[in-house]
Amino acid sequence: MRHALLVRIFAVFLVGCSVATGNRPNIVVIIVDDLGYGDLASYGAKDLRTPHIDSLMANGMRFDSFYANCPVCSPTRAALLSGRYQELVGVPGVVRTHAPNNWGYLAQDAVMLPQVLKPLGYHSAIIGKWHL
């Protein structure tokens, strides 16, 4: 119930952005495994150059207070893309393919962010490791 409310609020926010600017804002979500706060030039790294990410940052939003819900990849992706705790969408730990170690996969009925954005005219793509 709470998830549905949050999704609706987010959708209304996006519609509001679209009406205010005349265009839908682009939404780019980059999830990187094992990246520290200071590993990007835009966040203060002196020894690393990240010009393309810096360009995205200069023309977008900067987040300075953020937390991962889990220290491993699969549950973090599941939570971010669904807006729910990872346990509620079937991914409490790293997805593994071997039966004895299998935590399970993303629940078939989990509502994902792209499903919410599609009716608003957005197209979505996932590039790279899915692992859900």
Which residues are catalytic, by number? Answer: 73, 131
CA atoms of 80 and 95, how far apart (whole Å): 16
Residues near 126 by Cβ (< 8 Å), separated by ≥ 6? none
Counting other chains too, the contacts that 93-101 makes at CB distance below 8 Å and 24 or more residues apart are: 94/131, 95/131, 95/132
Q: What are phi and psi of 59, to 5 degrees?
A: -110, 10
Neighbours of 107 (CB within 10 A): 14
CA atoms of 69 and 49, how far apart (whole Å): 28
